[in-house]
Amino acid sequence: MLSLMLLGALALSSTSFAQSKGLKKIHVGVPAVSMGNMIIFFTQEAKLFEKHGLDADVVVMQGSGIASRALVAGSVAISPITTPAVMSAVLAGSDMVILAHTMPGVIQSLMVRPDIKKTEDLKGKTIGVTTFGSLADFLVRHLARIKGLNPDKDFALLQIGTDSERLLALKLGKIPAATLGHPQFILAQRAGFTLLWDFFKEVEYPWSEIATTRSQIQRDRDLVMRYMRAHLEGIALFKKDPEFAKKVIKKTLRLDDDSLAQESWELFAKYRLPAPYPNTKGMKTSYEYVALTRPDVYKHKPEEFVDPSFVEELDKGGFIKKLYEK
């Protein structure tokens, strides 16, 4: 009881402090604790939200499906939502919009038991993903079709929360295959599992989106712009300060392996985009996926699902350039 009272007092104190400092409150959704979403946690740890006038509450959820519903409901103001989920939501009447694609591809793999040596061996098997409608779900279904499998008949998909939970399910023999991000797919390889599909190499898909709603922009464009400044500065600092980045990676992912943290930093620092414009040309894959349930998506241009004005303003105004000056 005492600890709860202390936590309550600290929360009130924090809120009062934020108000006294003139910070704007913002709830930021995170579909998963992963390297793909690491910049949000890094930005928080580096106190860049506060630097740009925000009191940010980072809310972790299970998958883009849940995060997108939270965004539509207004429970969070901004969240990384997969491009197909945004497009489907817009076609269903939502005003969701993509502000940025911060990665050129998805660093995820399909890890399998050693006896699964080729795609055909997945028939009759169960593959672990985060949640239905999530990025992992999308990637498996999309690549399976390209490789000649029917994801609705040839194998089963099982929802298993986080990367760590899916890795544990693999190790315990509960599932023979699972989508895993970095560094969990490295841990899976060390445990004897093999890489069957490399989504970064095999799927053209701009990743690590920043999404909000048009109504949120209309209601408080300054709030969204403050978030974008903080996030983009987070990318720059992540690239420039490997020691701090590795410290946050280890804390966030609960790693005690220095080599894994180093490899994670190198990989994501290399591919994070300094000026992450929405990648409309790379949205072809998302169109193909959405069209399976909403063929009318082809009546809509990619530009209808994005708003590049925030990145454009920060780019042309010199904000991004200054972040990378020595």
Q: Give yes or no: residues 219 and 196 share one domain.
A: no
Query: Which residues in 207-231 are b (16+ Cβ under 10 Å) and which e?
Result: bbbbbbbeebbeeeeebbbbbbbbb
Residue 10 lies in a domain: no
The whole-number pLDDT of residue 138 equals 86
Phi, psi for 287 (deg, rounded to 5): -60, -45
**pLDDT tens digit string along 76-133?**
999 999 899 999 999 999 999 999 999 999 999 999 999 999 999 999 999 999 888 7
Q: Give yes or no: residues 239 and 176 share one domain.
A: no
Residue 8 lies in a domain: no
Residue 30 lies in a domain: yes
10-residue stretch averages of pLDDT, the chain, 326 residues long: 34 44 94 94 98 98 88 97 94 98 96 98 97 86 95 96 93 98 94 97 94 98 98 98 98 94 96 98 92 95 98 98 94
Interatomic CA distance for residues 24 and 53, integer angstroms: 6
Picking from 181, 152, 150, 148, the residue whose alpha carbon sits closest to that of residue 167 is 181
Amino acid identity of residue 250, one-letter, is: K
- Domain boundary (184, 202, 220) is at 202
Interatomic CA distance for residues 323 and 224, integer angstroms: 19
The whole-number pLDDT of residue 296 equals 97
Domain range enclosing 243: 22-104+205-323
pTM: 0.86
With contact defined as beta carbons under 8 Å apart, do 114 and 316 qualify?
no
Residue 249 lies in a domain: yes
Q: Give yes or no: residues 273 and 177 share one domain.
A: no
CATH number for position 176 = 3.40.190.10
Interatomic CA distance for residues 225 and 52, integer angstroms: 9
Picking from 278, 212, 210, 218, the residue whose alpha carbon sits closest to that of residue 71 is 212
DSSP type of residue 104: S
Residue 89 lies in a domain: yes
Residue 5 lies in a domain: no
129 φψ region: left (φ > 0), alpha (ψ -120 to 50), beta (else) = beta
Q: Give yes or no: residues 94 and 119 share one domain.
A: no
Interatomic CA distance for residues 296 and 87, integer angstroms: 11
Domain count for the chain: 2
The whole-number pLDDT of residue 3 equals 34
Q: Give yes or no: residues 79 and 219 share one domain.
A: yes
Interatomic CA distance for residues 60 and 30, integer angstroms: 5
Pairing of strands 177-181, 126-129: parallel
Q: Give yes or no: residues 138 and 250 share one domain.
A: no
Q: Give yes or no: residues 294 and 178 share one domain.
A: no
Q: Give yes or no: residues 162 and 266 share one domain.
A: no
